Structure 1
Amino acid sequence: MSTPSSPSGAPWRNFYGRRHGKTLRPSQQGYLEEDLAALSPGPVDWDANPERHPLDLAARFGDREIWLEIGFGGGEHMVHQAVANPEVAIIGCEPFINGVAMLLGKIRQAGAENVAVHPGDARDLFDVLPPASISRAFLLYPDPWPKKKHHRRRFVTAEHLEPLARVMKPGAILRVATDIPDYVRQTLVEVPRHGFAWTADRPADWREPWDDWLSTRYEKKALREGRVPHYLTFRRV
């Protein structure tokens, strides 16, 4: 049986979540119109790249290491890492266009020049990233999909983890932060099944944030509501 596809030829993928929120401010609309195209990592969409050729990351970023943030929310962590690590390049993917606009404003304010932005589904980006091209990936406070019947929509499932493992280098680091205990359990079961080893040796390794951590709006909300963050680190094996 052939894989269902969209009219453009792309594989058909269910998408669960929001792509648009409140009406954008004029300044945010301006960021999208003026900055987004220049920050593309390359032709990720099917219409621009119908044969799905891998991105030429060397042409785009030179010999820099490539990091990836999956679902960057408002972009504060991504910009923080970009400014703190100018020797690397960071690609962020986020389908929620309001979050993309917020990120673009932060990039302007910080003057970060080592970033690229894919305003869409991470799975589409995985299609065009070369194998073993990512040195570090961040999955920070992903959508928890709390109802049991929706757990298959979570990122920590084979549909996402298999292509993520393909594009990560041997020894590359995956960081996962979440305040949802059941998400922690699913992460610790599923991520090692797909080519990653949990690096924790002691409780502090998942109870304390990373040394270069910048708390996000989602974490601050979790703390206000009495939920406990977990910081999980995995290595690609």
Structure 2
Amino acid sequence: MTNDKAPSGAPWRNFYGRRKGKGLRDSQKEYLDKDLLALSPGAVDWDVNPERKPLDLKGLFGGRPVWLEIGFGGGEHMVHQAAQNPDVGIIGCEPYINGVAMLLGKIRKAGVENVAIHPGDVRDMFDVLPDGSIDRAFLLYPDPWPKKRHHRRRFVTPEHLEPLSRVLTPGAIFRVATDIPDYVRQTLEEVPGQGFEWLAEGPGDWCNPWDDWLSTRYEQKALREDRVPHYLTFRKR
């Protein structure tokens, strides 16, 4: 666990997880040095925006609908969605800097321009997103925190779901993918209580991936280890 408190007076927040893994390749260091700043919304930075003024999404994406990916991992799904939906702006939040570097490399290769990156906790992004400003959100293979005493660290808790619900537009879609049965249980218990309805009508609606799905590295690992993916779709009431 690390304690996130910026010198400028950002709120104290527990952060559980890794910020950095093994050493970065020279090419990844180059991506971080040359590309990240231009793709990072400055309003998320406490030193730049200590008053937490709302992020100017129209200035960021030219008035396009905005989607949010929470913990984009290696970035393959985010880049896929950006390439398939050029009329949408996509914000990705990921505190693991190695994943950020991987995403930046994929952005260069794909040439997508409708993306923004916050290399940190999504709660910082929630601080500056205007109410009802996000049209779709993705939570794909989040950290399962399998031990019962750690379940409060999962994303599907009121600490995260309440601000997520606030920033989503009425009718917005929230997708959750996980291979952990107990995470499915907690998701189905917690998410509807924050103003969402589960859209499943039959087993195929949570057993089969979405039509525009791109399997991630985390899903491929789950399949290799004989774990079963679940695909949950919610709509903000």
**Given the two structures, how large is their TM-score scaled by the length of structure 1?**
0.97
- Whether 2:12 is the aligned partner of 1:12: answer yes
State the one-letter code of the partner of 1:188: L
User: Where does residue 164 of structure 1 map in the other structure?
Assistant: 164
SS of structure 1 residue aligned to 2:44: coil
Offset, 1:10: 1.1
State the one-letter code of the partner of 1:47: D
Spell out the pairing of 1:12-91 with structure 2 (5 A cutoff).
Answer: 12-91=12-91
Aligned partners of 2:183, 2:103: CA distance in 1, in Å?
26
* Contact 1:41-1:91 within 8 A present in 2 as well: no
User: Where does residue 210 of structure 1 map in the other structure?
Assistant: 210
Offset, 1:47: 1.1
Aligned partners of 2:35, 2:45: CA distance in 1, in Å?
18
Aligned partners of 2:163, 2:6: CA distance in 1, in Å?
20
User: Where does residue 129 of structure 2 map in the other structure?
Assistant: 129
Aligned partners of 1:152, 1:6: CA distance in 2, in Å?
24
Aligned partners of 2:109, 2:86: CA distance in 1, in Å?
16
Offset, 1:42: 3.1
Offset, 1:5: 6.5
SS of structure 1 residue aligned to 2:43: coil
User: Where does residue 191 of structure 1 map in the other structure?
Assistant: 191
Where does structure 2 lack aligned partners over 5 or more consecutive residues? none
43-52 or 156-165: bigger deviation: 43-52
- 1:195-214: CA deviation from partner (whole Å, max 9, x where unpaired): 11100011100000000000
- 1:94-117: CA deviation from partner (whole Å, max 9, x where unpaired): 000000000000000000000000
Offset, 1:27: 0.3
Q: How many residues align?
A: 234
State the one-letter code of the partner of 2:109: Q
Aligned partners of 1:228, 1:179: CA distance in 2, in Å?
5
User: Where does residue 224 of structure 2 map in the other structure?
Assistant: 224
* Contact 2:199-2:234 within 8 A present in 1 as well: yes
Q: 1:5 to 1:33 in 2, by over 3 A?
A: closer
* Contact 2:55-2:130 within 8 A present in 1 as well: yes
SS of structure 1 residue aligned to 2:137: strand
* Contact 1:19-1:95 within 8 A present in 2 as well: yes
- 1:11-64: CA deviation from partner (whole Å, max 9, x where unpaired): 110000000001100000000000000001232021111000000110111110
State the one-letter code of the partner of 2:47: D
Aligned partners of 1:5, 1:106: CA distance in 2, in Å?
31
Large movers: runs of 4+ above 3 Å: 4-7
- 1:63-114: CA deviation from partner (whole Å, max 9, x where unpaired): 1000000000000000000000000000000000000000000000000000
- 1:129-187: CA deviation from partner (whole Å, max 9, x where unpaired): 01000000000000000000000000000000000000000000000000000000000
Aligned partners of 1:84, 1:7: CA distance in 2, in Å?
40
Where does structure 1 lack aligned partners over 5 or more consecutive residues? none
Q: 1:53 to 1:218 in 2, by over 3 A?
A: same
State the one-letter code of the partner of 1:185: R
User: Where does residue 102 of structure 1 map in the other structure?
Assistant: 102
Aligned partners of 1:42, 1:89: CA distance in 2, in Å?
16
**Given the two structures, how large is their TM-score scaled by the length of structure 2?**
0.97
SS of structure 2 residue aligned to 1:142: coil
